[in-house]
Amino acid sequence: MADKFDLLIIDGRPAAETTSLDVAENSDLVLISTGTSIDDLEPSLELARELIKKGISRDKIVFSVAKSPSDSEGRKAKATIEEWNFAVLDTVIPFKSGYSSALDSGRALFETPFKTLNEVAKKMVEEIHDIIN
């Protein structure tokens, strides 16, 4: 499918099994989204470490922090990811019902009825765009 599209987004399982590894091997960027709690961070960081053990370049892996209950929790999560020597997006997506509602109805994070939420999500998309290009 890579020959037919400029951008392909695959939402994989949080484990470095064969499918996730195959996708990662054929990707220019592996974006791992995580929450701020240790219950979210630990398996996400372990997934990244496992992908590296299986030959994926650390440079291809970037984290995004989402569902942050506060700015300070988002900063702490980013610091934890950086302590593990992984890249992380600057933009943190806060935990807001507008995002959940948009995703539940099949819309993107920047398609909420709220201008400020859409601006935050678009900033994250622009960061990813800059990394890819």
55: left (phi > 0), else alpha (psi -120 to 50), else beta?
left
Q: Which residue intervals of the chain are DSSP H helices? A: 18-25, 38-53, 71-83, 97-104, 115-132
Q: Are residues 75 and 48 in the same domain?
A: yes
Q: Are residues 22 and 48 in the same domain?
A: yes
Q: What pLDDT was estimated at residue 21?
A: 80
> Average pLDDT in the 123-130 region?
96
Q: Are residues 35 and 47 in the same domain?
A: yes
Could you tell me the CATH number of the domain that includes residue 59?
Answer: 3.40.50.300
Q: What pLDDT was estimated at residue 4?
A: 85
Would you say 62 and 32 are in contact if contact means Cβ atoms under 8 Å apart? yes
Q: Are residues 78 and 21 in the same domain?
A: yes
How many domains, the chain? 2
Is position 5 within any domain? no
The per-residue pLDDT for range 60-94, each reduced to its tens digit, is 999 999 999 999 999 999 999 999 999 999 999 99
> Average pLDDT in the 18-35 region?
86
Q: Are residues 83 and 111 in the same domain?
A: no
Contacts of residue 73, Cβ cutoff 8 Å, sequence gap at least 6: 36
> Average pLDDT in the 6-19 region?
67
User: Is pLDDT above 60 for 118?
Assistant: yes
Phi, psi angles (nearest 5°) of residue 94:
-75, 160
Is position 4 within any domain? no
* Segments forming the whole domain that contains residue 73: 10-95
Q: What pLDDT was estimated at residue 17?
A: 61
User: Is pLDDT above 70 for 37?
Assistant: yes
Q: Are residues 52 and 75 in the same domain?
A: yes
Q: What pLDDT was estimated at residue 15?
A: 57
